[in-house]
Structure 1
Amino acid sequence: MTNLSRTEASDQIKQSALQIGFELVGIAPAVQPSGYSHLLDWLDKGYAGEMGYIERRREAYSDPSFVQQQTRSLVVCAWNYRSQEPVPTEPTEGRVARYAWSGIDYHDYLRDRLQQLAEQIRNTLPEARTRCAVDTAPLLERDFARLAGLGWFGKNTMLINKRKGSWLLLGVVLVDQELAYDKPHETDHCGTCTRCLDVCPTDAFTEPGELDARKCISYLTIELKDSIPTEFRAPMGDWLFGCDLCQDVCPWNNKSPISTNTEVQPRIDLNPISATELFELSESDLKAKLKTSPLLRPGRAGLLRNAAIVLGNSGDPHVVPVLSKALHNEETPVIRTAAAWALGELGGTEARQALQEQCEVEENQEVRSEIEEAIRRLPRPQKDDAIPGSNSTSDL
């Protein structure tokens, strides 16, 4: 047994966390999080979309003991991932959420740091049992971060800290010992500001502090495996992977510090990303390019689906050959569906010809319906613009 008091042990643990590189650290008791009832309501409303893993573990979110038995304290750590400001994109380039710019999966480097901290905790408290969690365990990390005094919830549901803003990745070390707990952050500092709500192009916020994930660009481009609903494709703009809009406009992020951590420094080829070049990569090529990156999460099918939508929103007719090739040759229906939509958005004789040719041979009903709808959206061609070899200039 250690001779340290709870306060002394807790202070040593916090000092270790800061030395390891975490920007913020606080300690919360292992209680049912105050947001648990809201989580249940959110799930019952269907706002989780296809993220069935949350529903399957809904009871586990009620108590940290489901993650580690007899947990009594949670050491909550925050890692700053704000790097340099975004590079302006060209029309055919796709934007990527800031946390993925480095090409290194944050789960990996945060878990490594948390394991270092857990070892330090066991050195301080030899009798302690620990477990590390980085947003994959059934744990409401943001609730415990607020309980540990790290910040408050913004209207965009993000945890915001007065000094560090919201560019924070959270990690937790669960400990089966009682420590000295920090004072919860009880105050909301957002006031009447609604910038995060107003900027959302898909109206994903049902009310301040509540997000319908099914409308969120981050969910649509990363978690959703099926075709992205038509009404959200144009509002996606040039977002290829994730979305940062509701954080970009937050006043609390104006003065948040730039991180010096090497793990978050951007790779020049990962933001922005050429949407056309993605179509040139095979499955193995894509995995080689993105082997340590979160961008692999949606898989090649999801990433090329997103890339096609970015190109459809670009207004650049020079990308029609890329989309036509994808429509004709890609095996995955969600890619062909997105390519058909994009060709319909760009229009022109070449796009019409590609759509009509594929319509004659397309066997997948979803893709065929998308092609037919894309053709219907195209302006009726003039007689002089009729496609050579075509018997009709009608829509279908």
Structure 2
Amino acid sequence: MKRWARELGFDAAQIGDADLGAAAETGLAAWLEAGHHGEMDYMAAHGAKRARPAELVPGTRRVISLRMNYRPPAAKPSEAVLADGEAAFVSRYALGRDYHKVLRNRIQKLAERIEAEIGAHGYRAFVDSAPVLEVEAAARAGLGWRGKHTLLLSREHGSFFFLGELFTDLPLPIDPPLPQEHCGRCTRCIDVCPTQAIVAPYRVDARRCVSYLTIELKGAIPEELRPLIGNRVYGCDDCQLTCPWNRFAVDSAEADFAVRNGLDDVSLAELFGWDEAAFKTRLAGTAIFRIGHERWLRNLAVGLGNAPTTPAVVAALQSRRDDASALVREHVAWALERHGQT
């Protein structure tokens, strides 16, 4: 099965038990109780089922966790984009095709390959789209350990990878978890977070996280957090970029994750000029598409508000001063005020 997974483009596959342990359930409950999930009500909707795969999919005995590297090899260096105030930074995972589609298709093919070998079996594929504690499942299967930024870390591959799961009722042999984690006393991810969203080791307050603010949040971005977002218009990679283990990160060999539409090296003003038709045409099939044009403009307005005051930046903002969307107008007005424009 592991060989078949590699043949399908996965970089690793490990098998874990369906019992994720009491610690996972307790940690989830505490995180939800603190309100750290923000508007992500779906995180609470299934309650303890997230930590109990056999309750989510009755009959589940094992969880096959799969890893696929996503960092595109030809992308402009992230540090260079972040340092250019007029450029738009898009999280590296979103530069290519929507990973949900890529991984789900491959996991389904893996399940069908298993079925062709042994006959019908109960299974269900997951890719960040259902109540699954994917990092916990992957850690228990030995794919890596949970870093202090809450992402899965691998000594050999860092953290620039996607995770997917195949729940199965097959009594497969279980891979042991790693004997220890390897973050030690390092706090680089905590220290570098632009909004200080990592409120404690292994605990993220999503309400402050740039990824949440630019992707999950549907309404206005809290004004006090806008200046801290900088030019990050879709997601944030800072905690990964600073992590020492990512010196071992491996670029993706998957063509679907190659950069599309030049999003690794494009100005905020240029993207702000896209109308809705251009947005839909150019970003169809990407992860960005799901936030919609309105929130995309909201994010870009914040980025332009944090950009250097140049004629191009001010002109871009002025062009949408009277935008049809109240959400966009609010963020444009804030951005123009930042540039001394009333």
- TM-score with structure 2 length normalisation? 0.94
Distance across 2 between alignment mates of 1:299 and 1:273: 19
Given the alignment, which residue of 98, 101, 106 partners 1:105?
98
Alignment partner of 1:31: what SS?
coil
Unmatched segments (≥5 aa) in structure 2: none
Q: Output one character per residue of 1:188-218: Cα deviation in whole Å (capped at 9) or x when no partner.
A: 1011111111101111011011000000000
Given the alignment, which residue of 315, 320, 336 partners 1:321?
315
Q: Output one character per residue of 1:231-272: Cα deviation in whole Å (capped at 9) or x when no partner.
A: 111111110100000000111111222222112222251123
Given the alignment, which residue of 217, 220, 239 partners 1:246?
239
Alignment of 1:238-277 (within 5 A): 238-267=231-260, 269-277=262-270
Q: In the alignment, residue 53 of structure 2 is paired with which amino acid? A: P
Given the alignment, which residue of 51, 70, 86 partners 2:76?
86
1:207 is matched with 200
1:63 is matched with 52
1:142 is matched with 135
Q: Output one character per residue of 1:52-102: Cα deviation in whole Å (capped at 9) or x when no partner.
A: 111112232131124322010111100011223534334322100010111
Q: In the alignment, residue 242 of structure 1 is paired with which amino acid? A: G
2:43 is matched with 54
Distance across 2 between alignment mates of 1:145 and 1:77: 8
2:304 is matched with 311
Alignment of 1:279-358 (within 5 A): 279-318=272-311, 319-328=313-322, 330-347=323-340, 351-352=341-342
CA contact (8 A) 1:96 1:272 kept: no
Given the alignment, which residue of 14, 17, 21 partners 2:9?
21
Given the alignment, which residue of 113, 118, 125 partners 2:111?
118
Instruction: Report percent identity of matched pairs.
Output: 38
Distance across 2 between alignment mates of 1:86 and 1:194: 26
Decide which moves more: 143-152 or 64-73: 64-73
Deviation, structure 1 residue 131: 1.1
- The higher-RCO structure (CA 8 Å, 6+ apart) is 2
Change (3 A) 1:39 1:186: farther
Alignment partner of 1:86: what SS?
coil
Alignment partner of 2:68: what SS?
strand
Distance across 2 between alignment mates of 1:279 and 1:238: 13
In our comparison, the structure showing a higher alpha carbon Rg is 1
What count of residue pairs does the alignment treat as equivalent?
335
CA contact (8 A) 1:16 1:117 kept: yes
CA contact (8 A) 2:85 2:231 kept: yes
Q: In the alignment, residue 272 of structure 1 is paired with which amino acid? A: D
Given the alignment, which residue of 72, 86, 96 partners 2:90?
96
Q: Output one character per residue of 1:84-126: Cα deviation in whole Å (capped at 9) or x when no partner.
A: 3534334322100010111x10000101110111011212331
Alignment partner of 1:171: what SS?
strand
CA contact (8 A) 2:20 2:140 kept: no
- TM-score with structure 1 length normalisation? 0.82
Q: In the alignment, residue 339 of structure 1 is paired with which amino acid? A: V
CA contact (8 A) 1:92 1:316 kept: no
